[in-house]
Structure 1
Amino acid sequence: MDIAILKTAALGDVVRTTSILAGLVERYAPARVTWITAPNAVDLVRTHPLIQRVCAVDPKDPATFEGVEEKLLETSFGRVLSFDDEESMCALATRLGGARADVISGAFLDPKSGECRYTKDCAPWFDMGLLSVFGKEEADRRKRENRESHPAIFASMLGLSKGRPELHLTDEARRFATGFRARHGLDSGGPSIGLNTGSGGRWDSKKLGVESTVRTAQLLAQELHEPPTYLLMGGPEEGERNASIAAGLKACRPSIRWVDAGVDNSLLEFAGLVDGLDLLLTSDSLALHLATARQVPLVAFFAPTPAAEIDFYGRGAAVISEADDYASYRPDADTSTLTPERLVSACLDVLSRDTPR
Structure 2
Amino acid sequence: MINCRHFSGYKPCSKNSVCDDSCAQKDVPTCSLLIVHLGALGAVVRSTSLLKAIKRKYPGSMITWVTDAPAHHLLKNHPAIDRVLTTSEADLLQLATLEFEVGFVIDKSLKACGVVKRTQVDQIYGFTVQSSNGAIVPATEAAQELWELGLDNHKKFFVNQKPETQLMIEALELGEYQRDDYWLPLTESEDREARRRKEAWLAENNKSLVIGLNTGCSPVIPYKKLSVDYHRLLIERIQAKFPYAEIVLLGGPEDTIRNGLIQQGYSVISSETESGLRDGLISVAACDVVVTGDSLGMHMAISQKKQVVAWFGPTCAHEIDIYDRGFKLLTKSPCSPCWKRTCEKAIMCYDQVSLEEVIDALESCCANRLSGRSTALNPAP
TM normalised by structure 2 equals: 0.80
- Aligned counterpart, 1:89: 112
Asked if 1:41 corresponds to 2:71, the answer is yes
Aligned mate of 1:8, from 38, 48, 53:
38
Partner of 1:253: none
Moved more, 312-321 or 188-197: 188-197
Gaps of 5+ in 2: 1-30
* 1:252-286 residue CA offsets vs partner (Å, 9 max, x unmatched): xxxxx411102212111111111111110111111
Residue in structure 2 matched with residue 22 of structure 1 by the alignment: 52
Structure-2 residue corresponding to 1:243? 260
Q: For structure 1, which segment, 307-316 or 324-333, has the greater mean C-alpha deviation from structure 2 after superposition?
A: 324-333
Residue 146 (structure 2) aligns with? 125
**In the alignment, structure 1 residue 195 sits paired with structure 2 residue 184:** no
Q: 1:30 to 1:352 in 2, by over 3 A?
A: same
Alignment pair present for 1:287 and 2:307: no
Q: Assess if the C-alpha contact under 8 Å between 2:198 and 2:287 holds in 1.
A: no
Task: Summarize the Cα distance change of 1:118–1:186 in structure 2 as closer, same or farther, 3 Å threshold.
Answer: farther
Q: Which residue of 2 aligns with 1:177?
A: 194
Letter of the 1:273 counterpart: S
Indicate which of 134, 148, 151 corresponds to 2:165. Answer: 151
| From 337, 350, 362, the counterpart of 1:327 | 337
Given that residues 80 and 97 in structure 1 are in contact (C-alpha distance below 8 angstroms), is that contact kept between their aligned partners in structure 2?
Answer: no
What is the DSSP-based 3-state SS (H/G/I as helix, E as strand, rest coil) of the residue aligned with 1:212?
A: helix
Range 265-274 or range 63-72, more displaced: 63-72
Q: Write the distance in 1 (CA, Å) between the matches of 2:365 and 2:274.
A: 29
Q: Which of 312, 316, 325 does residue 306 from structure 1 map onto?
A: 316
Partners of 1:220 and 1:81 lie apart in 2 by: 44
Q: How many residues align?
A: 331
Q: Deviations over 1:135-155 (max 9, x none)?
A: xxx2x2222122111222122
Cα offset, 1:95, TM superposition: 5.5
1-structure distance, mates of 2:75, 2:118:
23
Alpha-carbon distance between aligned partners in 2 of 1:204 and 1:88, rounded to the nearest angstrom: 24
Residue aligned with 1:166, SS: coil
* 1:105 has 2:88 as partner: no
8 Å CA contact 2:248–2:271 kept in 1: the answer is: yes
Secondary structure, in 3 states, of the residue corresponding to 2:349? coil
Contact 2:213 2:248 in 1 (8 A): yes
1:203 CA displacement: 2.6
The separation in 2 between residues aligned to 1:115 and 1:274, in whole angstroms, is: 39
**Alignment partners' CA distance in 2, 1:347 and 1:64:** 46
Q: Say whether residues 1:206 and 2:224 are aligned partners.
A: yes
CA gap 1:31/1:23 in 2 versus in 1, 3 angstroms: same
**SS at the partner of 2:182?**
coil
**1:57 correspondence with 2:87:** yes
Q: Could you tell which deviates more after superposition, 157-166 or 342-351?
A: 157-166
* Matching residue within 356, 363, 367 for 1:341: 356
Cα separation, partners in 2 of 1:109 and 1:95, compared to 1, 3 Å: farther
- Alpha-carbon contact 1:93-1:107 (below 8 Å) kept: no
The verdict on how the C-alpha distance between 1:36 and 1:278 changes in structure 2, with shifts beyond 3 A counting, is same
Are residues 168 and 323 of structure 1, via their aligned partners in 2, closer, same or farther at CA, if it must alter by over 3 Å?
same
Offset, 1:57: 1.0
Whole-angstrom distance in 2 between the partners of 1:81 and 1:291: 25
CA deviations 1:279-312 (Å, max 9, x no partner) are 1011111111111111011111110011111111
**SS at structure 2 position matched to 1:33:** strand
**d(CA) in 2 for partners of 1:238, 1:326:** 25
Kindly indicate whether residue 258 of structure 2 is the aligned counterpart of residue 232 of structure 1: no
8 Å contact kept, 2:32–2:102: yes
Letter of the 1:242 counterpart = N
Q: Which residue of 2 aligns with 1:135?
A: none
CA 1:66–1:49 in structure 2 vs 1: closer, same or farther (change >3 Å)? closer
Q: Which runs of 4+ in 1 moved over 6 A?
A: none
**1:66 offset after TM fit, Å?**
4.4
Asked if structure 1 preserves the Cα contact closer than 8 Å seen for 2:210 and 2:287, the reply is: yes
